[in-house]
Amino acid sequence: MIISFEGIDGSGKTTILKAINEKLLKLDLNPRIISGSISGYTGSSISKVDSLLKRVTHESDLVLDDKTEFCVYLARLREKRNTAQSYLEKNTKDIVLIDRYVDSPFVLAIYGRKIDKIFVESSLDWIIEGLWPDITFVCEVSSAQEGLERKKKSSEALSRKELEGAKLHDKLHYGFQSLPNCFRDRSFKKINTSGVSIDESVELAWTNVVGALKKRELF
């Protein structure tokens, strides 16, 4: 089972992912984390290839045109996809938690960079080869500016996208909000992280996770 966490920077997706991972561990389930920024957690995985590619997407002084940038994100997506598949091939009852999966490059390419939608969709289909998430949490803040302000207060260095400012992030904010309408055959759950405690957001996500696990007889 694959659970992905999506949203603009500063939306709380990584925090919620970590909390869900802890809850699954307490139940003696077998969560696996795939992320370019989370390490030191049971079952977490950061491949060397993904780490190198993340440096490219975060290097502020690199000049990349839109298609080059998209290809780098495709390579990162392929690494995550292959890692998830390797887990599930070893144990079909594994629960794979992915911090940014197929939807982040989709939103950036189409809403942020205005790359041709047919090209983007066919490229993503080719890369993931049918390994779609079973459920996707879209973490939302009230505005793109709120997300940026949260990210600036964190200890992480700002990426190239973040340094582009509010105009790009307004587009991405809208793109993530639009995901359920773009993929009507997929399971999306929106998690509001504005004006509520992080515990409330986590509990809402957890309720949906438990429902999905019961449906698949994993809980």
- 119-133 confidence digits (pLDDT tens): 999 999 999 999 999
**Can you read off the two tokens belonging to residue 54?**
């993340």
Token pair listed for 112:
């942020």
Which residues in the chain show pLDDT less than 50?
A: none
Contact 21, 31 (CB under 8 A): yes
Q: Is the dihedral of CA 105, 54, 152, 208 positive or negative?
A: positive
> Fold for domain 2-215?
Rossmann fold (3.40.50)
> Which residue's entry shows tokens 């049971």?
42
In this predicted structure, what is the pLDDT of residue 39? 55
Amino acid 92: pLDDT: 85
**SS3 category, 94:** coil
Q: What is the pTM of this model?
A: 0.91
Mean pLDDT value across the chain: 88
- Per-residue model confidence (pLDDT) at position 211: 95
Query: In the prediction, which pLDDT does 89 show?
Result: 94
Q: Check residue 153 and give its pLDDT.
A: 75
Beta bridge partner(s), residue 190: 138
pLDDT of residue 167: 87
* Run of H or E residues at 124: helix 117-128
